[in-house]
Amino acid sequence: MNDYLNSLFSLRGKVAVVIGGTGELCGAIAVGLAQAGAEVVLVGRDPVKAQVKLDRIKTEGGIGRFVPADVSTRASLEEVCRTVVDELGQIDILVNGAGVNSATPFLEIGEDEFDRIMLVNFKSVFLSCQVFGSHMVSKGSGSIINIGSASGLTPLSRVFTYSASKGAVHNLSKNLAREWAASGVRVNILVPGFFPAEQNRKVLTPDRIESIMGHTPMRRFGESRELVGAALLLASEAGSFITGHELVVDGGYASMTI
């Protein structure tokens, strides 16, 4: 049984690029991919945060490295892609998880704030899928995991621009799944429910936490490690016929109304 499961979920010999891998949620995913055998490349801006994740990867017996980049620019992403392909030979898995949030009331949202959130949350995913997706299509295989949001399924109050940006990520991912299925490239959306992370802690006021708990059958927040299994399914041969799917990990939030 162990040999079967190992072969089904193994990422040995694979190279995974994790954009946002210096953060809490994608950092946990990066560690999980490394534990499954992938060589993991963390992409972000903060080498100090990256080192924390790399130390964890090393402790767990995995292999990882950090490549600094501004993921909101095509040139920077192209440089990352060239570097990884030149040094490691291929890219098999891409996780797009950079994100920012804001609770500004709708009528007070300025254009600069709107543009910044859309740039980080959506345009960076668009650019990354073009850059790394081109490589995957050319080699005839690959798995792209775009990090969506519960707000990409049904808009959430107070986070107007964030919800719009994640809705766009969901739509883009499904379009690419359709476009690239025949080329051997799968594109899926990993949809976390409420996981306290850097970009949403500031909007988790006591009344909002109470509202979330009242709408979550499991009555708790998710823990970052609880995204790893879903990511492994989408990244590995275990998910070889899964594409264009919104894989929800939310403690039952989406299944409940009142």
pLDDT over 60 at 84, yes or no: yes
Domains of the chain: 2-245 (3.40.50.720)
Which of 162, 180, 194, 195 is labelled catalytic?
162
* DSSP helix/strand/coil, 95: strand
pLDDT over 80 at 258, yes or no: no
Q: Are the C-beta atoms of residues 189 and 169 closer than 8 Å to each other?
A: yes
| Confidence label for 113 from pLDDT (cuts 50, 70 and 90) | very high
pLDDT over 60 at 247, yes or no: yes
What is the mean predicted confidence (pLDDT) over 131-151?
97
Phi, psi of 216 (to 5 degrees): -115, 110
Q: How many residues does the chain have?
A: 258
Neighbours of 207 (CB within 10 A): 8
Neighbours of 229 (CB within 10 A): 11
Query: Is 253 noted as a catalytic residue in this protein?
Result: no
Q: Rg for the chain (alpha carbons), in Å?
A: 18
| Confidence label for 201 from pLDDT (cuts 50, 70 and 90) | low
Please indicate, yes or no, whether the overall pTM of this predicted structure exceeds 0.85: yes
pLDDT over 60 at 221, yes or no: yes
| Confidence label for 83 from pLDDT (cuts 50, 70 and 90) | very high
* DSSP helix/strand/coil, 190: strand
